[in-house]
Amino acid sequence: MFENNSRTELESLGEFGLIHHLTKDLGMKNPTTVMGPGDDAAVIEAGNAFWLLSSDALLEGVHFDLSFHPLKHLGYKAVAVAVSDICAMNGIPGQILVNMGLSNRFSLEAVEEIYVGVRTACEKYNVDLVGGDTFSSRSGLVLSITAAGRVEKEKIAYRRGAEENDLLVVSGDIGGAYMGLQILEREKRVFMEHPDMQPDLEAHDYIVGRQLRPEARLDIIKLLAELKVQPGSMIDVSDGVASEVFHLGAASGVGFDIYEEKLPIDPMTVDRALGFGLNPSIASLNGGEDYELLFTIKPADFEKIKNNPDLTVIGHATANKGQHRLITKAGNVFDLKAQGWEHFRG
């Protein structure tokens, strides 16, 4: 199956290279399996529709820091992250499974706090918690959510559907979650050095909230249906807009031109980025965990979305496969760099 004669470090492949290496030769044995690994969710035949299945894990010390992440918000975030993958296929979520690993430092009351967040998210996204598993963990808290949903066959949006001249659209604003994390980590450092000082988070409430309690954009899926706009390709912004542009481009065989002046960045995100000595545009392109939706539409559909404050055209697809460019406010052109988070990279 695998013919490796020497040790290969995982960082030489990265997260997505590892997934491709492990799954590239998998054959689908069941005719109901329409799409396996390679998109935001697996696609299963279900008569007049498709079932969508996706799984996401959050690991303490990697995905979250309990010194500043409230358990209630963590439970909510775990569900939102999984639901976001269903939305990224233009689908509607229906059920979740919750798998939770707990060490002996967690009390019943702490676990109840996590489930308050889980239940709140279930109510928000109208999904049912239908099962899961609970197990002991020696490496901290583990939360893994499997989400199931449905999509009408003619409405499914894969990563691979972008075509030349399609418009690239992003929902909401970008970069807020990343800057929220910078604020939280800074305040943690200050507290560690000066335990008598209380964290100053009130002035950063929007971006801190974007990090601690993100939202899956199910509302955007419903909005597109109302506007009768069918995305050609779609992905959610978990690792940063730039990284997701590379995914869409690779799957669709196109390039993208992104215009800096079009990037939707909240004023608080801009202000805090400048305060950290960061270029707000670069931070917003490469900061992850916004869980906004990035998708392409036909130019003819622009009139349907142009006045909507939740949807912004930030660029377009080109015939230059694999060439992704950032056009700055000054008109300079640079190759787009994907510097967002990727597991196993050094």
Q: Is residue 25 part of a domain?
A: no
As a whole number, the mean pLDDT across the chain is 92
Instruction: Tell me how far apart the alpha carbons of residues 159 and 252 are, in angstroms, rounded to a whole number.
Output: 7
Please write the tens of the pLDDT for every residue from 114-144: 999 999 999 999 999 999 999 999 889 999 9
Structure confidence by residue, pLDDT tens digits, 188-213: 888 777 777 777 778 899 999 999 99
Report the pLDDT value the prediction gives residue 338, as an integer from 0 to 100: 82
The reply to whether 227 falls in a domain is yes
- Which residue bears the tokens 């000066």? 194
Would the pLDDT of 73 be above 80? yes
Q: What is the pLDDT of residue 18?
A: 59
Is the same domain home to 191 and 329? yes
Tell me, what's the pLDDT at 134? Answer: 95
Q: pTM of the prediction?
A: 0.91
How many domains does the chain divide into?
A: 2
Q: What's the whole-number mean pLDDT along residues 259-282?
A: 97
Q: Domain for residue 341, yes or no?
A: no
Q: What is the model's pLDDT at position 13?
A: 60
For 68-120, the DSSP string reads TS-HHHHHHHHHHHHHHHHHTTT-EEEEEEEEEEE-TT--HHHHHHHHHHHHH
The pLDDT score that the predictor gives to residue 344 is 43
Q: What is the pLDDT of residue 4?
A: 67
Say which DSSP state 64 is in: B
CA–CA gap between residue 132 and residue 117 (Å, rounded):
16
Give the percent of the chain with pLDDT over 70: 91
Residue ranges with strand state E in the chain: 33-35, 42-46, 49-59, 92-102, 128-136, 142-152, 167-171, 233-236, 255-259, 293-297, 311-318, 324-327, 333-335
CATH code for the domain in which residue 311 is found: 3.90.650.10
What would the pLDDT profile of 288-345 be if each residue is shown by its tens digit?
Answer: 999 999 999 999 999 999 999 999 999 999 999 999 999 999 999 999 988 755 544 5
Phi and psi at 99, nearest 5°, equal -110, 130
As a whole-number percent, the residues of the chain with pLDDT over 90 amount to: 79
Q: Are 253 and 240 in contact (CB under 8 A)?
A: no
| φ, ψ of residue 223 in degrees (nearest 5) | -65, -45
The Cα–Cα gap between 67 and 184 comes to 10
- Classify residue 283 by burial, with Cβ atoms within 10 Å: 0-12, 13-18, 19+: buried
Q: Which domain holds residue 323?
A: 159-335
Same domain flag for 107 and 194? no
**51 plus 137 within the same structural domain:** yes
